[in-house]
Each structure stands twice: as structure tokens, then as C-alpha cells.
């Protein structure tokens, strides 16, 4: 037997072995799928009314503007036919791919998309079809702006889902790798998919980061500190001072309870928590509990009374200060504004200044996430929490992922399942997958009263809670708001409008480049994203941006100066806790690593 024959025999044996592995894995795959629990239809797709109104609007546009619709159809079929003929000629002559004017897209990096007639044909036809779909739904007649926005969003979802890069037979990267590895990449990809199904009880949720690469408290969330208070809702972490002297007025950060607080303390080089302590501030951070079924009774009132107000009082007691500085991030910023309104009504002057990170208080324009805030989805959530008591972490995580489906679903799935590669060790993506549950009553109150009803900032008596109605104009403490330019969760223009409505006469608004996370976790060492400032508060946020000054680098130092001027004098830095607040656990505490069973 020759050397070539031996190599071919060995390769054939490897291919045969991999095919047998795939067959064996099929049994495990079926078992993993069998774990899947039924999910109510209202949580998976828009309601039937949405589809009916969209279809009616499409046909109305067709009847009212038949010339425009026929023009689009003729243009599409003409380009499709011409493209098919050009591709056929390339195949027959074994020439290069025909002229390609399709848009640049990072999903189509492989040179074969441009040079090989088959793959180029598929790519160009995909973009032609995508454009035709977008043209067909442009400015549908009889739809309100919100429904039009939803039609465009869900059409884009279908376009992204059907991209040829998402399928083995039409992805040159996956086919090349399968050939190179004698099918090993397909075996690895199937194993990756099965592991994801098994981790999520039959739900296919792609793992974004190596689950074994990070452990909270070991290589994430490692800034030194201790838990100095704990109740049912949260652990209060005090961080150890790293300067001899610290400002006398402490700072407490309220992170969102949709995710976990260590987004602000991923690694030392990008930790906002560590940076704050290095600037001489005495810092406390709330670590919210991850709710189980026993938290079904918890509402917005509980988060305000047993969360915000309790934490504020505990920090006042620990520091000996009558007034403290506070930060609210995302939904915690929304709730902080409610708390400040309540304190104003009660005549309690406990907050010296407030900072809001990417927080919405005016929901008149819900931004991109608004496509999930109509009654069809919210009704489904209300039914789910009435049945289960809590809103499982899967639903929120999936919702936010679909706002960036190519980045957070399809591209990672292609790498993992089609290419068979292991997920990367990426701290931010690890945090992104470490989501939490939401108490049922709280979720419904937030969605109905604030997101849908805009009761805090809109017309009417205010947001009802704790026996009163809270209004946005009652927020009168000095405030600083940081919003993010490409934020897909808390649109910066909506954040601006809310801050503008607040009653404070001392306001600062900073617009950071980038999105909901990267715009906030923007350490100086990266020198990556800049920020904008403008001392004026015109009614139109676009006018504010047009008149703003851009600054290189992070906003952290600008905010640090703002906070320092409202933090009093410096004095010897305090130790962790006191006699009535002993250290109960080292940071990052116990709540952040708890995984309740539902």
C-alpha cells in the first residue's frame, strides 16, 4: 500500500468514525429536546391582531398604489432573472462571479462570497430579496407609527434569520472546515448544541462565553470589600478604601436587578467600582437577590421601601452623614427617580445628589425595545407570572438578545454549531448570560404602569405606589445623567426628555458614545469611546446633540469631578462596617452567585 493510499485510508476511517459519532449523538439530542417545557404562544410571537392589521395594511397599500407595488415586483424579478443568467454563464464558462454591488456585511467575509459563482449567487439573491421585503412594507397605509415600527422590526428578524450564513449548505466557512476536519467540526458543533439544550432544559440558548473561564469572586467581581447589611431584597457591599483619605459623603450604587451588579466590576482593568474607590470615594453597592418563587408578592413598592430606602438609611447610619450620593443604573435609575419623588413628598432630605446611568423615566418613546411592549407580549407576561409567580430569566435574556440578533444569536450560533468552535473566554458575554428572574407583581407593575402607561412622566395623577402618586417633577435634587448614543434598551433621547422634565435646577447631561453597556463600562485605559456635553437643555434632544461639544475618552473623569464637588471634605477613610454592621461575607457576597430553582 502506498503512502497516499495509507493517508486516504486513515482519512476515510476518521470520516467514518465521525459519522458514527453523529448518529450516536442523535439519541442524546432527542433526549435533550424532550426536556423542553411548553411556552405559551404569547411569549414567542406577536399576537394575531398584529398579523391581521399588518396584512390588511399591505393589501390596502397594494390596492391604493398598485403601480408602486408592481414596480417593486417587476424590479425584483428583473434583477433576480438577470442575476440568475449571469451566474449561469459564470458556471458554464468557469469564470469569476458576476458584478457584485451588494452591501458590505461582516457575515460575508469569506472571499468565496465574492469569487465563487455559487456562493456569490446566493449572497446577491439574499440581499435582493431582503431589499424587496423592506420595500414592500415601507410606509404601509393605515398603521400607527408603533405598529409600523413593529412590522419593520419583525421583518428584519426574518431577514436576519434566513441569511445563508446561518445554514450549513450555504456557508462556505462551515463547509471548508467540515472538509478540513473530516467532519470533526460537525461532531463538535452538534455536541455544542446538545450541551446548550441540556443546560437550558431543552431551550436552544447559545452559550456566548466559555462557562468554565470565569467564576464570580475569583476572576470577576474581585474588588476588595465586604457585605455589611443583608435583608430579603439585597446585600449591601462596602468597598475597602484604597486611599488614606476619602470624601465624607459616601456614594451608593443601585444596579439593575435584571442582571447582576458585577458588570461594574468585571476585571480590575475595566472596573468602575475599583476606579471609584481609587478616586477617594467611600463606595457602597447594592447586590440584589435573584428571586425564586417565594418572591411572587414583591412589587415596585417592595423595591422602593425594602430596597432603596433601606439601603439609603443603612449607608447614612454607617457613614454618620445625614445626606448621601446615589447612582441608579437602568431600571434601578427609573426606580431611584420614583424613590426621590417619594422622599420629596415625605419631606425627607436624605439624598445629596443623584446620578442616572442609561435610565428611562419618560416612556413616551420606548425606543427599540418598544416592539416587545405592546399588549400581545405584555398580556403573555401577565399570564405567565400569574401562573408561575415569577418571570424566568430566559424571557428577558432572549428579548434583549433579539434586539441584537446577529451579534448575540446567529453569529455565535454559527461559530458554535456550524464551525464547531468553543465559545470564547469573554467576561462581558459571561455576565450577559448570567441573568436573573423577576418577581411577577413587580414585572407587571413596571410594564403596565411605566413602560406602557408612562404614568410617572406623562399626563395624569402619577405612578401609584405606597399609597400615593409619584411625579417626575418632584425629583429636585442635583442630578447628573449619563446616556449612551447607540443604546438599544434605554434610548438616549428618551433619557434626555425624562431628565429635562425633572424639577431639579442643577442638572448635567452627558452623552457617551457606544451602547447600553460599553458606553458605561468605558475605562480610561481603553481610550475607546468619547462623550458629549452641552450646558443648554433645549426641548429637542437632537438640537442638544447638534450643539454639544465632543470630548475624547471616557466620561468617568468628568463625572468624578462633578461628584467630588458634591461629596464634602476629605477625612480619614473608614474601615469596613462598624459595631452594628459587622462584615457578613467578603465581596462580592452571596446573593450574586445564588441560582434559585424555579
Instruction: Find, among 571, 360, 522, 535, the residue nearest to 454 by Cα.
Output: 360
Cβ contact 344:476 at 8 Å: yes
**C-alpha to C-alpha distance for 337 and 389, rounded to whole angstroms:** 26
φ/ψ of residue 469, rounded to 5: -120, 125
Cα gap 315→308, rounded to integer Å: 11
* Cα distance between residue 181 and residue 21, in whole Å: 14
Tell me the β-bridge partners of 470: 463
Question: 81 vs 85, 351, 442, 579, CA distance in Å?
Answer: 6, 68, 55, 81
How many angstroms from the chain centroid is the CA of residue 288? 18
Q: Residue 468 has which C-alpha cell?
A: 400615593
For residue 272, which of 330, 331, 218, 223 has the smallest C-alpha distance?
A: 223
The total number of residues written for the chain in this structure: 598
The whole-angstrom separation of Cα 47 and Cα 376 is 5
Of residues 330, 451, 480, 484, which has the active-site annotation?
330
Q: What are phi and psi of 247, to 5 degrees?
A: -60, 140
| Residue 460 in grid coordinates | 395624569
Give the 3-state secondary structure of residue 167. coil
Active site residue 330: yes
DSSP string, 76-111: HHHHHHHHHHHHHHHHHHT-PPPP--PPP-GGG-ST
For residues 214, 261, 431 and 225, what is the CA-based torsion angle, rounded to 10 degrees? -10
Please give the span between the terminal C-alpha atoms of the chain, in angstroms, as a whole number.
61
Contact between 380 and 42 under an 8 Å Cβ cutoff? The reply is yes
Is residue 359 within 8 A of residue 334, CB to CB? The reply is yes
The rounded distance, in Å, linking the Cα atoms of 339 and 314 is 15
> In this structure, what are the phi and psi dihedrals at residue 217, rounded to the nearest 5 degrees?
100, -15
- Please say whether the beta carbons of 342 and 472 come within 8 A: no
Contact 227, 585 (CB under 8 A): yes
Which residue in this structure is represented by grid cell 482593568?
Answer: 269
- 308, 177, 303, 288: which is closest to 235 by C-alpha? 288
**DSSP-derived secondary structure letter, 578:** B
Active site residues: 330
Amino acid at each position: 500500500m502506498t503512502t497516499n493510499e495509507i493517508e486516504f485510508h486513515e482519512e476515510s476511517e476518521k470520516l467514518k468514525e465521525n459519522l458514527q459519532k453523529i448518529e450516536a449523538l442523535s439519541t442524546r439530542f432527542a433526549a435533550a429536546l424532550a426536556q423542553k417545557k411548553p411556552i405559551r404562544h404569547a411569549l414567542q410571537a406577536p399576537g394575531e391582531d398584529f398579523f391581521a392589521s399588518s396584512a390588511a395594511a399591505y393589501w390596502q397599500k397594494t390596492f391604493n398604489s398598485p403601480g408602486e407595488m408592481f414596480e417593486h415586483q417587476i424590479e425584483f424579478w428583473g434583477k433576480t432573472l438577470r442575476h440568475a443568467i449571469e451566474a449561469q454563464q459564470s458556471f458554464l464558462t468557469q469564470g469569476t462571479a458576476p458584478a457584485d454591488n451588494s452591501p458590505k456585511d461582516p457575515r460575508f467575509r469569506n472571499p468565496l462570497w465574492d469569487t465563487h459563482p455559487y456562493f456569490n449567487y446566493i449572497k446577491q439573491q439574499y440581499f435582493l430579496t431582503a431589499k424587496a421585503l423592506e420595500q414592500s412594507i415601507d410606509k404601509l397605509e393605515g398603521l400607527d407609527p408603533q405598529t409600523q415600527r413593529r412590522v419593520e422590526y419583525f421583518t428584519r428578524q426574518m431577514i436576519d434569520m434566513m441569511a445563508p450564513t446561518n445554514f450549513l449548505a450555504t456557508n462556505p466557512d462551515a463547509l471548508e472546515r467540515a472538509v478540513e476536519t473530516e467532519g470533526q467540526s460537525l461532531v463538535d458543533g452538534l455536541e455544542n448544541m446538545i450541551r446548550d439544550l441540556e443546560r437550558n432544559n431543552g431551550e436552544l440558548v447559545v452559550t456566548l462565553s466559555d462557562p468554565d473561564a470565569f467564576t464570580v469572586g475569583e476572576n470577576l467581581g474581585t474588588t476588595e470589600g465586604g457585605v455589611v447589611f443583608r435583608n430579603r431584597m439585597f446585600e449591601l457591599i462596602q468597598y475597602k478604601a484604597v486611599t488614606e483619605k476619602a470624601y465624607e459623603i459616601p456614594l451608593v450604587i443601585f444596579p439593575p436587578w435584571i442582571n447582576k451588579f458585577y458588570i461594574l466590576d468585571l476585571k480590575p482593568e475595566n472596573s468602575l467600582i475599583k476606579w471609584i474607590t481609587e478616586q477617594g470615594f467611600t463606595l457602597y453597592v447594592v447586590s440584589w437577590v435573584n428571586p425564586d418563587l417565594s418572591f411572587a408578592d414583591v412589587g415596585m413598592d417592595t423595591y422602593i421601601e425594602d430596597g432603596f430606602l433601606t439601603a439609603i438609611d443603612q449607608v447614612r447610619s454607617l457613614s454618620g452623614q445625614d445626606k448621601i450620593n446615589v447612582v441608579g443604573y437602568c431600571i434601578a435609575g427609573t426606580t431611584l427617580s420614583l424613590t426621590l419623588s417619594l422622599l420629596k413628598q415625605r419631606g425627607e432630605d436624605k439624598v445629596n445628589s443623584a446620578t442616572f446611568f442609561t435610565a428611562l423615566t419618560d416612556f413616551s418613546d420606548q425606543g427599540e425595545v418598544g416592539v416587545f411592549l405592546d399588549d400581545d407580549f405584555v398580556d403573555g407576561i401577565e399570564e405567565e407570572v400569574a401562573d408561575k409567580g415569577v418571570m424566568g430569566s430566559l424571557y428577558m435574556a432572549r428579548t434583549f438578545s433579539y434586539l441584537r440578533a446577529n451579534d448575540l444569536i446567529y453569529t455565535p450560533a454559527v461559530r458554535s454549531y456550524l464551525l464547531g468552535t468553543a465559545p470564547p473566554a469573554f467576561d462581558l458575554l459571561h455576565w450577559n448570560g448570567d441573568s436573573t428572574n423577576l418577581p411577577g407583581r413587580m414585572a407587571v407593575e413596571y410594564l403596565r404602569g411605566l413602560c406602557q402607561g408612562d404614568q410617572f412622566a406623562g399626563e395624569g395623577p402619577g405612578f401609584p405606589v405606597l399609597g400615593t402618586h409619584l411625579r417626575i417633577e418632584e425629583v429636585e435634587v442635583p442630578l447628573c445623567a449619563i446616556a449612551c448614543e447607540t443604546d438599544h434598551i434605554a434610548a438616549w433621547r428618551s433619557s434626555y426628555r425624562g431628565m429635562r422634565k425633572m424639577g431639579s435646577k442643577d442638572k448635567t447631561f452627558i452623552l457617551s458614545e457606544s451602547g447600553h453597556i460599553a458606553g458605561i463600562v468605558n475605562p480610561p485605559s481603553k481610550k475607546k469611546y468619547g462623550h458629549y456635553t452641552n450646558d443648554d437643555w433645549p426641548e429637542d434632544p437632537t438640537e442638544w446633540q447638534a450643539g454639544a461639544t465632543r470630548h475624547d475618552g471616557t466620561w468617568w473623569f468628568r463625572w468624578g469631578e462633578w461628584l467630588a464637588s458634591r461629596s464634602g471634605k476629605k477625612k480619614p477613610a473608614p474601615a469596613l462596617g462598624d459595631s452594628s454592621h459587622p462584615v457578613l461575607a467578603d465581596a462580592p457576597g452571596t446573593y450574586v452567585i445564588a441560582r434559585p430553582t424555579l
